């Protein structure tokens, strides 16, 4: 586990950043109530970590430009329970062999609107690990666009959405623009109340991109009759030398599983909770960082 030194930068009265590293450069300005951030990470022996801290005083919009220089590793963690509207617009650039890890564990108050838009450009051998855990909010929009611009770039992403009488739109576009790049994406949603969750996952493989590997899976679990889940995988492949797979499935809880749990003394409500917990935890091992994996598991356990 990496140690955070007590270094907190108060950027506004509503928003702070906690950092652990001297190898980070962070500048900011406020223009028309928008907080503009510029973050540059350089190589350091201990990976750099940034923790976003919201005081939840008022709605905010953050526009962040994030640069990772060669061999830099940066973790960004957003572990806030938001009771206000939020809007994040991230643009990141990953230089050769750099690693960006983005972890979001967010509970949103039901009457808020929240948007997260991220465009990531990736260079040779860079890695982006992108994990998002979301619960609640009247409206949530997640939009991520990944450009695997150079060889051996790798994107690993996983989204977990627990929706309670809310609308949640998720769009992920992964563009393989150079050979030998890898993308691996999983999305899981559980809907309750009159929720409406959509996931559109597009994988584009350009014609020169031989030795491409891409895997995408999306699954939805409908807990009641009123909820809707719309999963749309799209593959556009322009090269024959690729290994690409995709799968999408949604449905209700498996009665056979619920009966199996009941036959062991588990009540119906508890069986449903275990079922949902298992459904959402299926890909938790994709998170290699033990501390972050535990946070993800706790988020699922607490919100099932």
Cβ(13)–Cβ(3) below 8 Å: no
Q: Where are the beta strands (DSSP E) in the chain?
A: 7-10, 15-19, 24-31, 34-41, 48-54, 60-68, 73-78, 81-82, 86-94, 99-108, 113-122, 127-136, 139-148, 154-164, 167-176, 182-192, 196-205, 212-222, 228-237, 242-252
Q: How far apart are CA 142 and CA 201, in angstroms?
A: 12
Is residue 271 at the binding interface for other proteins, with CB under 8 A as the rule? yes
Is residue 267 at the binding interface for other proteins, with CB under 8 A as the rule? yes
User: Among 260, 288, 291, 302, which residue interacts with other proteins (rule: CB under 8 A)?
Assistant: 260
CB of 107 to other proteins, least distance (A): 20
Is residue 238 at the binding interface for other proteins, with CB under 8 A as the rule? no
Is residue 249 at the binding interface for other proteins, with CB under 8 A as the rule? no
User: Among 53, 100, 242, 280, which residue interacts with other proteins (rule: CB under 8 A)?
Assistant: 280
Cβ-based nearer residue to other proteins, 6 or 265:
265
Cβ(151)–Cβ(179) below 8 Å: yes
CB-based contacts of 24-30 (< 8 A; 24+ apart in sequence): 24/48, 24/50, 24/74, 26/50
How many chain residues are in contact with other proteins, going by CB under 8 A?
A: 25
If you count them, how many residues does the chain have?
A: 304
What mask of x and - would describe binding to other proteins in positions 198 to 237, judged by CB under 8 A?
----------------------------------------
In order, the DSSP letters of 229-243 are EEEEEEEEE--SSEE
Q: Taking contact as CB under 8 A, which single stretch among the options 12-20, 23-31, 95-103, 249-257 is the one that binds other proteins?
A: 249-257
CB of 199 to other proteins, least distance (A): 18
Is residue 277 at the binding interface for other proteins, with CB under 8 A as the rule? yes
Tokens 């322009």 label which residue?
238
Cβ-based nearer residue to other proteins, 242 or 280:
280
Kindly list the residues in this chain that would bind other proteins in the complex (CB under 8 A).
254-257, 259-268, 270-271, 274-275, 277-282, 284
């Amino acid at each position: 586990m990496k140690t955070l030194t007590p270094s907190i930068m108060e950027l506004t009265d509503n928003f702070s950043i906690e950092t652990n590293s001297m190898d980070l450069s962070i500048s900011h300005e406020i223009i028309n109530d928008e907080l503009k951030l510029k973050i540059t990470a350089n190589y350091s022996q201990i990976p750099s970590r940034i923790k976003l801290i919201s005081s939840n005083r008022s709605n905010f919009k953050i526009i962040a430009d994030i640069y990772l220089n060669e061999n830099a590793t940066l973790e960004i963690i957003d572990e806030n329970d938001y009771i206000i509207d939020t809007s994040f617009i991230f643009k990141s650039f990953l230089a050769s062999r750099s690693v960006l890890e983005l972890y979001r564990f967010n509970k949103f108050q039901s009457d808020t609107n929240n948007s997260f838009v991220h465009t990531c450009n990736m260079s040779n051998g860079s890695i982006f690990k992108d994990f998002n855990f979301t619960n609640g909010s009247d409206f949530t929009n997640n939009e991520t666009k990944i450009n695997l611009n150079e060889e051996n770039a790798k994107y690993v992403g996983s989204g977990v959405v627990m929706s309670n009488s809310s609308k949640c739109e998720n769009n992920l576009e992964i563009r393989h623009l150079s050979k030998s790049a890898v993308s691996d994406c999983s999305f899981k949603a559980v809907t309750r109340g009159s929720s409406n969750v959509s996931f559109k996952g597009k994988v584009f493989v350009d014609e020169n991109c031989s030795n491409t590997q891409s895997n995408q899976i999306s699954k939805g679990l409908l807990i009641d009759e009123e909820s809707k889940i719309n999963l749309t995988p799209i593959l556009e492949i322009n090269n024959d030398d690729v290994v690409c797979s995709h799968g999408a499935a949604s449905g209700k809880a498996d009665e056979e599983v619920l009966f199996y749990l009941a036959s062991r003394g588990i009540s119906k409500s508890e069986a449903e909770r275990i079922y949902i917990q298992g459904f959402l935890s299926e890909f938790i091992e994709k998170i290699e960082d033990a501390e972050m994996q535990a946070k993800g598991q706790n988020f699922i356990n607490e919100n099932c």
